[in-house]
Amino acid sequence: GAVVSQHPSWVICKSGTSVKIECRSLDFQATTMFWYRQFPKQSLMLMATSNEGSKATYEQGVEKDKFLINHASLTLSTLTVTSAHPEDSSFYICRGTRGWHTEAFFGQGTRLTVV
Amino acid sequence: AQTVTQSQPEMSVQEAETVTLSCTYDTSESDYYLFWYKQPPSRQMILVIRQEAYKQQNATENRFSVNFQKAAKSFSLKISDSQLGDAAMYFCAYRSASGTASKLTFGTGTRLQVTL
């Protein structure tokens, strides 16, 4: 079945630095990539939707200058957390879609810890 | 806007027993999809079961089945013959059938414990 590979699975960075998270669709072309954030014991919160070759659409309250999303190809989307702060520590998950019935294509998630 | 509500933060079931997780949703649409996801400690999201709103028949996947009540906007998940590996967070989710974006709206989740 289709797979979305997300890396890194965990990362620790210093406050003020930037971190890049990658999501690759391994055997399908992800025309759309959704990026979620999940706090401990909470649900998934949609941060942004990116379509290949165009600017991402951010949900209300999500800082687009802090969370930079690039979807330059049909197989790769990246989320860069810029000037990270401890409050950005969270679990980030991507989901790739290629149309309908692609609800299963989640990445493995990235646990970000900012110290 | 659609909302999904899971009123049971935690549930517990004994191994081999049956448990039902509740989910209600609110929408003005007539055509949509509903899902149950499992998130084990690894935190990988796993699709458990899918239900199309236009289908009256309840979806089943092995030990997992749903009770879909469209008029009541209820979508519960029944896990039969519970196993230790079923212990996880379970999320109910909604997706509209219209438009081009396949956005998912998630409930707050139910943590399922399975005891011996």
pLDDT at B105 over 80: yes
pLDDT tens track for B11-23: 999 999 999 999 9
List CB contacts of B11: < 8 A, sequence separation 6 or more. B19, B21, B110, B111, B112, B113
Q: What is the mean pLDDT of each run of 10 residues along chain A (115 residues)?
A: 88 97 90 92 92 89 95 91 97 87 85 97
Least CB–CB distance from A43: residue in B35, B43, B91: B91
- pLDDT at site A41: 85
User: Could you tell me if residue B114 is left (phi over 0), alpha (psi between -120 and 50 degrees) or otherwise beta?
Assistant: beta
In A, minimum Cα distance to B5 occurs at A43
Are A108 and B101 a contacting pair at CB < 8 A?
no
pLDDT tens track for B47-94: 999 999 999 899 999 999 999 999 999 999 999 999 999 999 999 999
Q: Which residues of A touch B33 (CB under 8 A)?
A: 103
- Give the number of other Cβ atoms within 10 Å of residue B86's Cβ: 20
- pLDDT at site A82: 97
| Rounded Cα distance, B68 and B76, in Å | 7
List, as ranges, residues 37-56 from B with C-beta within 8 Å of A.
Answer: 42-47, 50
